[in-house]
Amino acid sequence: MMIQLNITIEDIDYGSVAEFLTPAFEDQYQNGDLPGWARLLLVAGGSTAETVRKIVEKIPDDKKEDMIVRVVNYKTERTARKLEEIAAERGIRIRIGDVGARKV
Domain ranges of the chain: 14-89
Q: Does residue 73 register a pLDDT over 90?
A: no
SS3 at position 33: coil
Q: What is the mean pLDDT of residues 55-68?
A: 81
pTM: 0.62
SS3 at position 75: coil
- Reference 29, options 14, 48, 42, 17; nearest CA is 42
33: Cβ–Cβ under 8 A, 6 or more apart, which residues? 27
Is there a contact between 68 and 13 (Cβ–Cβ < 8 Å)?
Answer: no
What span, in angstroms and rounded, lies between the C-alpha atoms of 47 and 32? 15
What span, in angstroms and rounded, lies between the C-alpha atoms of 98 and 37? 36
Residue 87 confidence class, pLDDT cut points 50, 70, 90: very high
Q: What is the mean pLDDT of residues 70-94?
A: 87
